[in-house]
Amino acid sequence: MAMMTYAQAAVLALQHEMEADASVVVLGEDVGRGGIFGQYRGLQERFGAERVIDTPISEAAILGAGVGMALAGLRPVVEMRVVDFALCAMDEIANQGAKNRFMFGGQGRVPMVVRMPIGIWDASAAQHSQSLESWFAHLPGLVVVCPATPQDNYSMLRAALASGDPVVYMEHKTLWGMQGEVDAGQSVELGRARIVRPGADLTIVSWSRQLQACAEACETLSAEGVQAELIDLRSIWPWDREAVLASCGRTGRLLVVHEAVQAAGFGAEIAATAAEATGCRVRRLGAPRIPVGYSPVLEAQSRVTAADIAASARGLLGTRQ
């Protein structure tokens, strides 16, 4: 076990994969100097500019090159800097990368990992603060993951590279400096959730940075005598129906929390599935359908806080505080 940041865990994962397999390459803007969050620090010095490739500022060209590399037998890691910029390359990922295996009868595979940092990043405004995981979960052919801890950022990045399919890999921009223990020998299966804390009164499901706010809310609820079971979904698609439904069956109540806009968010899919399968009471909690503001006062309107989560849980339980 070693203590490291979320960003350092990703660097270590890539280092291990690149040492083990010469077909793993990295491409994107500023990756040679370590990336804007330090998530590639030292890799170009170690593996050379032929494997850690700085590109022009063209997201469509970067992602298109990544799809071509993957079809030619490489395992590219494609850097989009932030998810907002990936919108310039939606055809390459939605119509080329995601559909190639299906349209050519399995003759082509696209073992590509596309890193798209998500979430509110202080004072970054509407074009650099979005959480768009539900967009990519909607597209058949893509795997979508959202690691919330340094350990998961290490293990899930390695699992994503090994999956053989195009993976949209979404790291929250405010987690890069988060410290945690990382066991390089620990593997993770994509599509498996993690029980963060057990509880019998209600189930709370979340992912990525919002998990921290949920954990804080669970502490508040515990002091009030409410024991919430907190589940880190980790993979948005495929998602762990078995773990979520088993928990909902025990507690009879489900609260799904995400930083993304609540309207048409992935929480709706989880809530509907749980209600249909178990008959549990459900509630969703996400951001209002507004652009993220630049000023702190406006930005705060888009945040889902621990207090909001605790209040929503109380409403689901029929209690007041």
Question: Which residues are catalytic, by number?
Answer: 128
Regarding beta strands 194-197 and 228-232, do their DSSP bridges make them parallel or antiparallel, or are they unpaired? antiparallel
Structure tokens at 62: 């970067």
Question: Rg of the chain over CA atoms, in angstroms?
Answer: 19
> How far apart, in whole angstroms, are the C-alpha atoms of residue 76 and residue 212?
31
CB atoms within 10 A of CB 184: 15
> How far apart, in whole angstroms, are the C-alpha atoms of residue 62 and residue 249?
45
Q: Write the single-letter amino acid at 22.
A: A
Q: Are 231 and 148 in contact (CB under 8 A)?
A: no
Half-sphere exposure for 187 (CA within 13 Å, toward CB): 7
Helical pair 266-278 and 241-251, crossing angle rounded to 10 deg: 60
Mark residue 133 as left, alpha or beta (left: phi above 0; alpha: psi -120 to 50; beta: remaining).
Answer: alpha
Q: Are 142 and 237 in contact (CB under 8 A)?
A: yes
Q: Which of 158, 160, 165 is nearest to 106 (CA)?
A: 165
